[in-house]
Homo-oligomer: A and B are copies of this chain.
Amino acid sequence: MNEPSPNSTDSASQPFTPKFDAAGLIPAIVQDASSGEVLMFAWMNREAFELTASTRLAHYYSRSRGKLWKKGETSGHTQEVESLRIDCDQDVLLLRVKQHGAACHTGYRSCFYREIVAIDNSVPILHVCEKEKFFDPAEVYNLRQS
């Protein structure tokens, strides 16, 4: 291992110059601040980032619905932002959050509840790794007939 060399770009404080893509979006990885579990992945536009930063509650931009959304606005499963990081190229965000309820709309705590297996000599399949759902999406999103 080599000793690091002095480098002017490595000073304690550096300018924040986030790079939004051609569609005005930046990817955001969301991690549970206490367990380290990766909970979800989403996109932010500048407005979503600014709302997230100012309210400390995660906001994203839905590409499919074409609009800003506050995480948990329907389910109540909000994300309190404990820290915001950005990567070396300033084109990806990492949010460390306190997740209320569950992150995934399926009811699982994390969106990454399935592992890809049997990938060497056969067609890959997915195995559900999580033991149980945290909530019932039919109930939370009012999909049930009453």
Contact = CB atoms under 8 A, between A and B. Distances in A.
A128 B12 CA distance: 5
A116 B41 contact: no
24 contacts: A1-B134, A4-B132, A10-B128, A11-B128, A13-B125, A16-B123, A16-B124, A16-B126, A29-B29, A29-B38, A35-B36, A36-B36, A36-B37, A53-B119, A53-B124, A84-B115, A84-B116, A85-B116, A85-B129, A88-B104, A88-B105, A88-B106, A88-B108, A92-B111
Contact of A14 (B105, B107, B126): B126
Contact of A27 (B27, B38, B112, B114): B27
A53 B120 CA distance: 7
A113 B88 contact: yes
A112 B87 contact: yes
B1 A135 contact: yes
Given A86-B116, A120-B54, A3 B136 contact: yes
Interface size class of A (residues with CB under 8 A): 35 or more
B3 A29 contact: no
Total copies of this chain within the assembly: 2
A90 to B, nearest CB: 8
A44 B43 CA distance: 18
Contacts of A11: 128
Interface in A1-60: 1-5, 10-16, 27, 29, 31, 35-38, 40-41, 53-54
